[in-house]
Amino acid sequence: MEIISDIKAMQNRCLAARDSGQTISFVPTMGFLHEGHLSLLREGRKRGDLLVLSIFVNPTQFGQGEDLDLYPRDFERDEAMARECGVDLLFYPEAEAIYPPGYATYVAVEGPLTTTLEGVCRPTHFRGVTTVVTKLFTIVMPHIALFGRKDFQQLAVITRMTTDLNLPVEIVGMPIIREQDGLAMSSRNVYLSKDVRQQALVLNSTLRQAAEMAQNGESDVEKILTMAGSRLANEADLKIDYVKICNAQSLEEVDTINHESVMLLAVSVGKTRLIDNGNLIS
Ligand code: PAF
């Protein structure tokens, strides 16, 4: 596995791979890898000749007072896991290389896709994500890029951006990977104390109950949201940021459940935000 930090060197390496006819599959991450990331890498390994992983804790997607400085980092561990998964190229740039002095260009998807759900609590978040993903795409020039569905809204925003800007990259969404007890895998799970982690299991159990209601014929969104709200409110340390049922494409809220409905949840526990989602009718 090659580790490259320099942008020009990375571009040259990826251009050479493309010129020699290799298909590049790409998994962008902020590091502190877990099984969720590894599932993307394994799929990327199958789909591409050259598997590229980036590790970059992107400052522009963190709002003021968010956990940029505290965000968990362990490069040596990540490097070993990347080797294990057969990564060919690991891109590990410095923040000053991605955002040098005088940096002034941003890419933003406008409208409900970025202003609802996470966009309400984190108004500058998606602009940071789309900017860095665009930059990473121009550096890595991948044919395929893989993202987890745990960040459902992020995946929708990146898909929109890729379509709107005619970027020649296939965006692949991959299933949520859960711990044995059902908690969706996230680098931020390390922040959770034992007690709070136990309370956080309510996210998955609420999604499961909602899906069960929908599959048993309940189509009234109001009723499912009432059940979800009261389950989440039962946990003393969780503060609900949102519980919504939306159309999976537009992310607009719906009144009636159908095959395109997805339930999205976000809660805060102290400074830790947890998100989760699930389809209601599979
Ligand atoms: O999902 C993430 O880890 C990040 O938002 C991403 C896509 C790597 C951009 O920094």
Domain ranges of the chain: 2-174, 187-277
> Which atom of ligand 1 lies closest to the CA of 133?
9
> Which atom of ligand 1 lies closest to the CA of 56?
10
The predicted pLDDT at position 102 comes to 98
**Ligand 1 contact, 151 CB (< 6 A):** yes
Atom 1 (ligand 1): residue with closest C-alpha?
Answer: 29
Q: Is the model's pLDDT at 88 over the cut of 80?
A: yes
Atom 6 (ligand 1): residue with closest C-alpha?
Answer: 29
Tokens of 75: 């490069």
CA distance 32 to 45: 19
**Ligand 1 contact, 78 CB (< 6 A):** no
**Ligand 1 contact, 129 CB (< 6 A):** yes
CA distance 262 to 214: 11
Question: Any bridge partners for residue 90, and if so which?
Answer: 3, 53
The predicted pLDDT at position 31 comes to 98
**Ligand 1 contact, 60 CB (< 6 A):** no
Confidence of residue 269 (pLDDT cuts 50, 70, 90): confident
pLDDT in tens, 120-153: 999 999 999 999 999 999 999 999 999 999 999 9
For helices 75-84 and 35-47, what crossing angle results, to 10°? 40
Active-site residue list: 37
Find the angle CA(158)-CA(33)-CA(81) to the nearest 5 degrees: 125
Q: Which of 63-67, 106-110, 213-217 has the lowest mean pLDDT?
A: 63-67
58 CB neighbour count, 10 Å cutoff = 21
* 221 C-alpha to ligand 1 centroid (Å): 31
Q: Residue 84 to residues 36, 51, 77, 235: CA-CA distances in angstroms?
A: 15, 12, 11, 38
Atom 3 (ligand 1): residue with closest C-alpha?
Answer: 29
The predicted pLDDT at position 29 comes to 98
* 212 C-alpha to ligand 1 centroid (Å): 31
The predicted pLDDT at position 186 comes to 96
CA distance 188 to 58: 15
How large is the average pLDDT for residues 32-60?
A: 98
**Ligand 1 contact, 48 CB (< 6 A):** no
How large is the average pLDDT for residues 86-100?
A: 98
CATH 3.30.1300.10 corresponds to the domain 187-277? yes
**Ligand 1 contact, 88 CB (< 6 A):** no
- Shortest CA distance to 226 belongs to which of 208, 250, 206, 246? 206
* 29 C-alpha to ligand 1 centroid (Å): 5
The predicted pLDDT at position 30 comes to 98
In the chain, the DSSP E strands lie at: 2-4, 24-29, 50-55, 89-91, 144-148, 170-174, 239-247, 261-269, 272-279
* 76 C-alpha to ligand 1 centroid (Å): 19
> Which atom of ligand 1 lies closest to the CA of 129?
9
Confidence of residue 58 (pLDDT cuts 50, 70, 90): very high
| DSSP 8-class letter at 178 | B
The predicted pLDDT at position 10 comes to 98
The predicted pLDDT at position 211 comes to 98
pLDDT in tens, 217-257: 999 999 999 999 999 999 999 999 999 999 999 999 999 99
Question: CATH code for 2-174?
Answer: 3.40.50.620
The predicted pLDDT at position 35 comes to 97
Q: Classify 64 as helix, strand or coil.
A: coil
The torsion of the CA quartet 124, 125, 126, 130, rounded to 10 degrees, works out to: 100
Q: Is 65 exposed, middle or buried (0-12, 13-18, 19+ CB in 10 A)?
A: exposed
* 68 C-alpha to ligand 1 centroid (Å): 13
Mean pLDDT, the chain, whole residue set: 97
**Ligand 1 contact, 133 CB (< 6 A):** yes
Q: Is the model's pLDDT at 271 over the cut of 80?
A: no
Whether 52 and 139 have beta carbons less than 8 Å apart is answered as no
CA distance 5 to 94: 7
